[in-house]
Structure 1
């Protein structure tokens, strides 16, 4: 029998691999002392690092590289696998992947030729969520198998592909593994229950939210990973391992449920479906039951911030799986509903005692299924990523439209009443029976593709905007995500509007156009209900997150090509123009700086740390609004101002006379940031911000709060979302909170972290702190402190039912993570430097109604919602209920104050546009102005 040419070629190839077969590869057990997947055993990152370094010396198919350092300073490693021949030409294949992904200056014929020559690039990671230990362990086993196996399939993988194996969260792996393994008797090690989780977040700042950071790239690990995905390797497939699988099943594998993001190229959802189907089929072929898809879990592809979801906006096929498993054996339960085969669960699994190695074996199957798909479809994957990039470039060069629910609603309205076509609206809940009547075909062009609603081709961020350094930070998020950004080398004019030198220009005619639109344009999430009039279906994550809006960036849209004196930013990151001081002379009495700069707070903190005088002017001065920062000149302050404004990109004006009028004199601030045993993600993100903007602070745990005398140690306490629950019940600190261990079960150094904020023990101490002159800043759910202190505000989102005020049900009001337009009173110190309206991040957040005698009790609404439609980006069902309610309230309590921030003003380190509310609240706490 004659072999087909392809098999004959492969046979000839494998005949030249005797060296690989003869290599001696250290096994995991030889290196670690146990096999990967052995019950009661988890390897930490120190062990992974040492093992991978050893394998790299033993295998000629492996190259080990560091992609950067982690938040805690560890090297983050990536193991690159391919055939020895491919590794010799690694730069060449990487360049092919880059050229096809960016799709620039290529013809279809050239792309086909490159796809034929190139190798598919596949990313496989593990351990992003460190508590999901299957992921961090399977990547160790996977690297060993790639280094050691010489079966025909593995050699084919190595010939056809370049495989990037990444430890996604080294710090977390070290912490979680060490915590689990601290018990010397293996059989006593537990993975669930009180005391089994580490005492702090397993990402230094973000914990679980490290998988919500990928368009923002705040974290070191995110920046490292983004650099490989979008600026170095450009893989066609990336596989992100997670845990835990849906109850009654073993593993969730795509396809995902709707909705998918409307900016995607249509090839993305089809590619996800194709790869996911290949994984399901291989599970069944290997008699591994229990894989589910679509309706089997809540996972969708709407949100941009996840590791696998951000890839969709870069034309890469991102795969997420969620598997069961634990180093401690556990019982897979019997759920009767999961025993009936369906199209989303074709092969149910029987209940059984589940062992760790079973999960590892499933993960190996999934990895191999993806590599098999990438090998067999190598040319198609390489060409398709080019085709998607080319599609994006072409859409950015012509009139194009993104169809969304609002546009569908406009067509439906026009079909009934043409005059309604231009009115704002959105698609509602599905009609009874799902029936839909047709609309006149002419509405396709006149309404659905209304020329006034087409997508922008160019965005310009003028250098004259009030906070250009923050606009530069926004640009850097785009650069980290591989977007091409231009900067003006001289002044220019577009459609009659002048722009200065250094303005940023982002053109949409590039391969990553979906990401660009998603960062600049509002998200329009569909209304998604279980049935007409029924409860909403919660999205996988937030629904509205437009980053330019969150960051308060000013930008203009243009709908035709724009040319000018533009140069591409080729450095890794952009920097704002060097700051300056104008008017400085020997007679300079001080320096004046706008409060509109976020980074002015860094300068302020440096000056206060050095003992320099800093004041806020309470009246407009020298063309600057109230709140301008006045720094009297001394040799020390002059040095700090000169060095800081230059590097931070601030503009300062030197004055020969001291401004007149009332001022707020700032003082060094003693900050306490509340946290809890096990770590709080909102508190962690707040800690990140405080460090970035150089605030001094201490982390405070409930036992410290309960001890009282707080004003002796702090001027301000920050209670982030979750520190207090919105409807807190009674309780005492002596009660052991659910999920927390007994003190004797944890090391002594962590016992002071135990406890929780309780009405009986903690709240009286917080009240006394405020009475004594302290400031308490509450965010999100922690604004429930107002109820506990009986302050003159009430819940703004209630209705009267049976003569009793009750919270609005979800069927009437539901806003899961969206950007809302709020009004601001920027004449008060808490809101200095802000515009009169801005976007706030609202995640089913509280809002407030003030008592009739609020002003008499020194209660002031600093921000509020106005009108029946306040949604700017995302999904807001029942938003009209917010009309007239307050978003931010400043309340006098004794000599001090309590500030209620309903919106998430520091959410995941993203909404730079609302950071000033937090910063101003901190800096005015010692002076306590009202």
Structure 2
């Protein structure tokens, strides 16, 4: 147990250790005015940057580089640390790491020789989640120790390794540290809970979700990090620091619990277990109890989007730890159950007053355990990453099968059918003789030739929204995937593809990532016991990116060759679009509504004062909702530029299309936010910026002041903006807010909560006077508050009371489901009739019998009992016949209910149009593009 005596011993060891430091190396105390880990002190990023620059100037062990700028424009620094001799040959060692990781055109013998010559590359970061301040501080201490210490172990690390130390979230570190340190009296500084009490998200757009972006790479910081991990340095081990540790323990360290993802190499989970075990052992050797593993927390290796998890799909050993700690001392609680040792918590820790420096010391132990492992296993790590890459290449060149729960269930079904069809047989002799099923099912069912893994994916250039397919390809490129592009037309299995089509072959080292982005995830049913509650996953369970983005692609199960060239640029550019059609007098242009980027063109035209309409009937081979742009000098210039830049096609028309239309107008958008930041709102802000929508961020005090129609046409309430609570008058999360006098004046207008008593009447008046309210996820509870004829479909009667379905009956923790869409209504323009939607504990709706009379209708709905496309869906039959998206007239305006997460983390491009259509339809007016008498247009759209 660590008590005051043990802590004093640790302090003396620290003092003794620093007696071995090099002269001429500035200490943190000299640079910052305090030691790293001093209570009530946190260094901001400005201080980190200055200190690292000073160390780089003083030490011959360190090279400092910027890996790119952050979302707020700061340089993001990485310290490259090794021996002076290694730094002189840095390019050579980087090239070795790259060759071994990619494993291309290498023999085993050549790989062994390179592994002998190379240096282990180890990535250690800190501060990704800025409110978890131990991470951002420990990386500063580590860089100092590696530059200053002269003990034999440190010198061995420097000799055998190249260590990459990265500040993972500079913007957040600056915000959180400055906020905490604003109180001049140290003892009055408060950590203020999970978010450190900051007034806004500590990543400009994503907050905590910055660790959910790594397969997508939307954020600047993610893109910077992915480049170093998968296109520059290819580390064999990466260590991602987090907090906080599970209650009653000090730190969570791998191994992780099941399930692990079925796509990555089996050497990955074994490597994680080996490194994690080394960390636990070092804690025990140093008398640092309280480390837990596996069942000690919910972390698994299933999800691809985290910083440490994305590395698994690139054959790297990704380590996550979660430690307790705060700059303000706090009491480590006594959790009785955590005082009984077990295999996942071998050494319980004594409850005590916990100091910041104790956390830093634990982190240094973990860092040094990893560096020690990498040093002692340098050659093995280098060869193993080659071996995994080589395995992936081989698997992509031959028939292979990924075994998943569905395939195992198929064996069991086939075995049961076989047993019923055969006469009973006498028991066989030998151990376990009757333990299994017929071995032939291994080949006929588990390795069914029709269920083998694809070897090649082709994304045709003539699909409806090829620019979005290009954005998908760019996520692959950012993750180090080799992508080919056709230089001319080609044919595969009698199907023709045009020049410009993308080709992704799986015979490459990062094959697991490719499969994970194209193929459905099949998460097992994971329950505490049969019939019991589900075990929550680490994150979402179904996220297949190609499906989320609505990309069209074909699978091929044998080699495909053709006129292909490797995309060598960092990002692919969409093929320039074309303007076809009329060559003579042109009166206007038609653009398909199926392009997501057509909304960028629309916003540019509206900003310039050009006329834009949506045609209500199909025209010129385009589906309903086609975008009509009358020809003017200004509109021609904007459209011609967009066609080239965005890769969208247009049709020049010599005659104005007949029929009714909706004339668009510039929309005044209010995006609702809250003090402390709301991540779904932050992502929506990111999305609106990407697609060039003008908008204002709106806080509850502005809503409560009323007169909203004077300022806005559309209000957006993202998921979480409204969450109905079982308590009076508060609709938002029940977390507390600071008192106005406790925060700077500039942030006081951000305070407040949406309430039923004050805010709801203003929202209702806004809609009744002609405004449009777009609600997503939990915010759709606004329908109930406005007494719309819409009811929660996911309930049941229990003892005469309507209650939510229990998790034992219905549980979908983030998966892709199939939904139907009415494509003839403005909300559905440009959408396919059936689409994948992201469902994450989402609401679903049933319409009351009088819904049609009250102009309330379903725009998208679930049909059938087998809706799951990717992930885990327990009880999905409850969704059959329910509505996913509902449009309701309220007075002169509308309220739209988006049950699914149509903009989740900036990923589901396939459903972005629902949001875009809802915004632009907010000010659209019925019109006509011909001389036919105008028809009245019902804002709620046509009923199918």
Question: Given the superposition, is the C-alpha separation of residues 736 and 366 from structure 1 closer, same or farther in structure 2, using an over 3 Å criterion?
Answer: closer
Q: How many residues align?
A: 897
8 Å CA contact 2:724–2:730 kept in 1: the answer is: no
| Residue 825 of structure 2 corresponds to residue 828 of structure 1 | yes
- Work out the CA distance in 2 between the residues paired with 1:696 and 1:275: 49
Superposed counterparts of 1:233-272, under 5 Å: 233-272=233-272
Q: What is the match of residue 493 of structure 2?
A: 495
8 Å CA contact 2:791–2:847 kept in 1: the answer is: yes
SS in 1 for 2:397: coil
- Work out the CA distance in 1 between the residues paired with 2:318 and 2:233: 15
Q: Could you tell which deviates more after superposition, 507-516 or 22-31?
A: 22-31
* Cα offsets for 1:302-332 (capped at 9, x unmatched): 0000000000000000000000000000011
Superposed counterparts of 1:687-706, under 5 Å: 687-706=685-704
Question: Given the superposition, is the C-alpha separation of residues 736 and 107 from structure 1 closer, same or farther in structure 2, using an over 3 Å criterion?
Answer: closer
Q: What is the match of residue 754 of structure 1?
A: 751
8 Å CA contact 2:131–2:196 kept in 1: the answer is: no
SS in 2 for 1:867: coil
- Work out the CA distance in 1 between the residues paired with 2:850 and 2:506: 52
* Cα offsets for 1:194-238 (capped at 9, x unmatched): 994110000000000000000000000000000000000000000
Structure 1: stretches of 5+ with no match in the other structure = 1-19, 422-435
SS in 2 for 1:417: helix
* Cα offsets for 1:288-311 (capped at 9, x unmatched): 111000010110000000000000
Question: Given the superposition, is the C-alpha separation of residues 355 and 690 from structure 1 closer, same or farther in structure 2, using an over 3 Å criterion?
Answer: same
8 Å CA contact 1:469–1:648 kept in 2: the answer is: yes
- Work out the CA distance in 2 between the residues paired with 1:193 and 1:402: 43
Question: Considering only aligned residues, what root-mean-square deviation do their CA atoms show, in Å?
Answer: 1.6
Q: In the alignment, which of 536, 539, 542 is matched to residue 540 of structure 2?
A: 542
Q: What is the match of residue 843 of structure 1?
A: 840
Superposed counterparts of 1:405-416, under 5 Å: 405-416=405-416
Superposed counterparts of 1:595-614, under 5 Å: 595-614=593-612
- Work out the CA distance in 1 between the residues paired with 2:156 and 2:730: 63
* Cα offsets for 1:507-557 (capped at 9, x unmatched): 000000000000000000000001110000000100000000000000000
Superposed counterparts of 1:793-812, under 5 Å: 793-812=790-809
**Structure 1 residue 583: Cα displacement:** 3.4
| Residue 911 of structure 2 corresponds to residue 911 of structure 1 | no
- Work out the CA distance in 1 between the residues paired with 2:869 and 2:448: 20
- Work out the CA distance in 2 between the residues paired with 1:581 and 1:39: 65
Superposed counterparts of 1:93-132, under 5 Å: 93-132=93-132
Q: What is the match of residue 587 of structure 1?
A: 585
| Residue 835 of structure 2 corresponds to residue 870 of structure 1 | no
| Residue 821 of structure 2 corresponds to residue 819 of structure 1 | no
8 Å CA contact 1:195–1:746 kept in 2: the answer is: no
* Cα offsets for 1:566-615 (capped at 9, x unmatched): 00000000011112212354511111100000000000000101111000
Q: What is the match of residue 27 of structure 1?
A: 27
Q: What is the match of residue 774 of structure 2?
A: 777
Q: What is the match of residue 334 of structure 1?
A: 334
Q: In the alignment, which of 431, 437, 440 is matched to residue 438 of structure 2?
A: 440
Structure 2: stretches of 5+ with no match in the other structure = 1-19, 422-433, 926-938
Q: Could you tell which deviates more after superposition, 77-86 or 755-764?
A: 755-764
Q: Could you tell which deviates more after superposition, 920-929 or 689-698?
A: 920-929
| Residue 674 of structure 2 corresponds to residue 676 of structure 1 | yes
- Work out the CA distance in 2 between the residues paired with 1:475 and 1:284: 46
| Residue 176 of structure 2 corresponds to residue 179 of structure 1 | no
**Structure 1 residue 730: Cα displacement:** 2.9
**Structure 1 residue 263: Cα displacement:** 0.4
- Work out the CA distance in 2 between the residues paired with 1:333 and 1:729: 29
8 Å CA contact 2:134–2:325 kept in 1: the answer is: yes
Superposed counterparts of 1:516-531, under 5 Å: 516-531=514-529
8 Å CA contact 2:22–2:150 kept in 1: the answer is: no
SS in 1 for 2:308: helix
**Structure 1 residue 904: Cα displacement:** 0.2
Question: Given the superposition, is the C-alpha separation of residues 466 and 420 from structure 1 closer, same or farther in structure 2, using an over 3 Å criterion?
Answer: farther
Q: What is the match of residue 282 of structure 1?
A: 282
- Work out the CA distance in 1 between the residues paired with 2:735 and 2:82: 48
8 Å CA contact 1:582–1:653 kept in 2: the answer is: yes
SS in 2 for 1:125: strand
Q: What is the match of residue 15 of structure 1?
A: none
* Cα offsets for 1:414-435 (capped at 9, x unmatched): 11015999xxxxxxxxxxxxxx
Superposed counterparts of 1:629-644, under 5 Å: 629-644=627-642
Q: What is the match of residue 291 of structure 1?
A: 291
**Structure 1 residue 667: Cα displacement:** 0.3
* Cα offsets for 1:1-57 (capped at 9, x unmatched): xxxxxxxxxxxxxxxxxxx98651000011101000000000000000000000000
Q: In the alignment, which of 871, 876, 899 is matched to residue 896 of structure 2?
A: 899
SS in 1 for 2:813: coil
Q: What is the match of residue 431 of structure 1?
A: none
- Work out the CA distance in 2 between the residues paired with 1:534 and 1:679: 35
- Work out the CA distance in 1 between the residues paired with 2:157 and 2:486: 46
- Work out the CA distance in 2 between the residues paired with 1:678 and 1:418: 60
* Cα offsets for 1:367-409 (capped at 9, x unmatched): 0000000000000000000000000000001100000000010
**Structure 1 residue 77: Cα displacement:** 0.2
Question: Given the superposition, is the C-alpha separation of residues 621 and 420 from structure 1 closer, same or farther in structure 2, using an over 3 Å criterion?
Answer: farther
Q: What is the match of residue 884 of structure 1?
A: 881
Superposed counterparts of 1:552-567, under 5 Å: 552-567=550-565
Superposed counterparts of 1:389-400, under 5 Å: 389-400=389-400
Q: What is the match of residue 45 of structure 1?
A: 45
**Structure 1 residue 804: Cα displacement:** 2.5
8 Å CA contact 1:413–1:420 kept in 2: the answer is: no
8 Å CA contact 1:469–1:576 kept in 2: the answer is: yes
- Work out the CA distance in 2 between the residues paired with 1:399 and 1:766: 58
8 Å CA contact 1:671–1:696 kept in 2: the answer is: yes
* Cα offsets for 1:237-260 (capped at 9, x unmatched): 000000000000100000000000
| Residue 790 of structure 2 corresponds to residue 789 of structure 1 | no
| Residue 72 of structure 2 corresponds to residue 72 of structure 1 | yes
8 Å CA contact 1:268–1:312 kept in 2: the answer is: yes
- Work out the CA distance in 2 between the residues paired with 1:187 and 1:736: 29
8 Å CA contact 1:315–1:512 kept in 2: the answer is: yes
- Work out the CA distance in 2 between the residues paired with 1:357 and 1:22: 22
Q: What is the match of residue 569 of structure 2?
A: 571
- Work out the CA distance in 2 between the residues paired with 1:328 and 1:732: 31
Q: What is the match of residue 9 of structure 1?
A: none
| Residue 158 of structure 2 corresponds to residue 163 of structure 1 | no
* Cα offsets for 1:595-643 (capped at 9, x unmatched): 0000000000001011110000110000000100000011111111111
**Structure 1 residue 732: Cα displacement:** 6.1
Q: What is the match of residue 456 of structure 2?
A: 458
SS in 2 for 1:898: strand
**Structure 1 residue 645: Cα displacement:** 1.3
- Work out the CA distance in 2 between the residues paired with 1:130 and 1:584: 56
SS in 2 for 1:307: coil
* Cα offsets for 1:766-811 (capped at 9, x unmatched): 1111100000000000000001001001011111222232211100
- Work out the CA distance in 1 between the residues paired with 2:92 and 2:148: 25
8 Å CA contact 2:42–2:181 kept in 1: the answer is: yes
8 Å CA contact 2:820–2:835 kept in 1: the answer is: yes
Q: What is the match of residue 190 of structure 1?
A: 190
- Work out the CA distance in 2 between the residues paired with 1:872 and 1:728: 34
Q: Could you tell which deviates more after superposition, 311-320 or 571-580?
A: 571-580
Superposed counterparts of 1:363-512, under 5 Å: 363-418=363-418, 438-512=436-510
- Work out the CA distance in 2 between the residues paired with 1:882 and 1:310: 32
* Cα offsets for 1:96-144 (capped at 9, x unmatched): 0000000000000000010000000000000000000000000000000
- Work out the CA distance in 1 between the residues paired with 2:891 and 2:466: 39
